[in-house]
Amino acid sequence: MEKPHLVTCTAPVNIAVVKYWGKRNEELILPINSSLSVTLHQDQLKTTTTVATNKSFKEDRIWLNGKEEDVTHPRLQSCLREIRRLARKRHNDGDATSTDLTGLSQKVHICSINNFPTAAGLASSAAGFACLVYSLAQAFGVEGELSGIARQGSGSACRSMYGGFVQWIMGNQEDGKDSLAQQVEPESHWPELRILVLVASAERKPIGSTSGMQTSVQTSGLLKHRAESVVPHRMEEMIKAVRGKDFAAFAELTMKDSNQFHATCLDTYPPIFYLNRVSQQVIHLVHRYNRHYGETRVAYSFDAGPNAVIFTLQQHVPEFVHLVQHFFPPETNGENFIKGLPVKHAAASEQLKQSVGLEPMPKGINYVISTKAGPGPRVVKDPSLHLLTPDGFPKP
Ligand code: DP6
């Protein structure tokens, strides 16, 4: 039997600072507004995917985090169909580097894992679909613009196709061909920027983005106002703040946008609650910290769950992390509280703690992941890192 052809890639998570919430077309995943995000570094958070192709495979199959999943999932099918369509088009156009036709008809085995716990409640669908599309493209010899395909797996996944600062332009066409992601600045543009993911000890899984935004589109007048009258100008302001590395402007726009997104959730009928008591305390902590210094040094952003994502500059990280640890005292092992990029030890003054003046919430935050902006999807060269065996089945 001929051995399968294996390819392995990794892709990053992204955090939106101008949020995507609401679709105008459910099937093609076309949004009602543009959005902008920061791609997080893959050293801390990434999805790894191996794709195997072989003549002998009877059907497409997929394993996610060790468990076989239903390959007929419509969004997965959209991505597979679109990549095969593109590969066929390249072949018909006579592109020499594209796969031969026998390769195109081959079935795939896909295996994917995250290097962060799903239980952490971090949106894994963006990294997951970005990685799937990037790996399939490698396997079928397809190059070029792929964000429009990743978008059909999960809207936010299109932004994970690029590193650094990325906008998803909503587009106007019915067929969605102009609804694509585009890099605004690469990850090297703002090296002082730091990102802290405060993983809250969530009680239960909140309502998912897909159905949440559906209800919001149907019922929230505020969401309509946001999409039509707030986001277009905010996108321009955000791009200006990023390009000019204007942290105060970037931070204020980020917090206002997160707050407006959660306001549209409350305006949804019946309302959706993603923020919990811990999230609210983090919001107070950030505003009181900034007020203490009379300067916007730290910003927060929340997606469809209670975890806070903090943006700040490198020089403020040690003190702010100390405050987080002070107001959310971890159980015992303070050592494991900070994961990712090392954080220097620093103390916060009594005066600062007093002016923050919050009631400590023991164990409110499980741990902190310290990271920065990072690059887009990558091919993994080392064959020992394939997630599938040479026969095309998940490694034990
Ligand atoms: C709150 O991309 O997960 O994280 O397109 O239905 O898969 P689907 O939704 P998804 O929504 C993400 C929503 C958000 C904001 C954002 O990332 O822009």
**Three-class SS of 357-376:** CCCCCCCCEEEEEEECECCC
Structure tokens, 319: 């003190």
The residue to mutate among 14, 21, 156, having the most atoms of ligand 1 within 8 angstroms of its beta carbon, is: 156
Q: What six digits make up the tokens of 313?
A: 């500059």
Residue 102 has pLDDT above 60, yes or no: no
Identity at 22, one-letter amino acid code: G
Q: How far is the CA of 157 from the centre of ligand 1 (A)?
A: 8
Q: Residues 284-312: pLDDT tens digits?
A: 999 999 999 999 999 999 999 999 999 99
Q: Could you tell me which residue, 122 or 106, shows the higher pLDDT? A: 106
Mean pLDDT calculated for residue range 318-324: 97
Residue, of 195 and 99, whose pLDDT is higher? 195
Helix or strand or coil: residue 246? coil
Are 126 and 156 contacting, i.e. CB atoms less than 8 angstroms apart?
yes
Q: What kind and span of H or E run contains 231?
A: helix 231-243
Contact of 187 with 164, CB cutoff 8 Å: yes
Strand spans (E) along 115-248: 165-169, 180-185, 193-200
Tell me the CA end-to-end span of the chain in Å, nearest whole number. 22
pLDDT at 100 over 70: no
Q: Is the pLDDT of residue 108 over 80?
A: yes
User: In what side-by-side order are the strands of the sheet with 14-18?
Assistant: 14-18, 35-39, 165-169, 180-185
* Model confidence pLDDT, tens digit, residues 18-76: 999 999 999 999 999 999 999 999 999 999 999 999 999 999 999 999 899 999 999 99
Mean pLDDT of 135-163: 97
With a CB cutoff of 8 Å and minimum separation 6, the contacts of 265 are 212, 216, 271, 272, 273, 274
* Predicted local distance difference test score (pLDDT) of residue 1: 63
Distance of alpha carbon 5 from its chain centroid, rounded? 29
Q: Degrees (nearest 5) of the Cα angle 238, 42, 284?
A: 50
Read off the pTM: 0.96
Kindly give the distance from the C-alpha atom of residue 275 to the centroid of ligand 1, in angstroms, as a whole number: 16
Q: What is the pLDDT of residue 48?
A: 98
Distance 346 CA to ligand 1 centre (A): 36
Q: What is the dihedral of CA 381, 384, 387, 391, to 10 degrees?
A: 110
- In the block, which residue shows the tokens 């067929």? 175
Q: Is the pLDDT of residue 104 over 80?
A: no
As for ligand 1, residues whose beta carbon falls within 6 Å of it are 16, 19-21, 29, 35, 123, 125, 154-156, 209-210, 303-304
Res. 198: pLDDT tops 70: yes
Atom 6 of ligand 1, residue of closest alpha carbon:
210
* C-alpha–C-alpha distance, residues 11 and 379, integer Å: 9
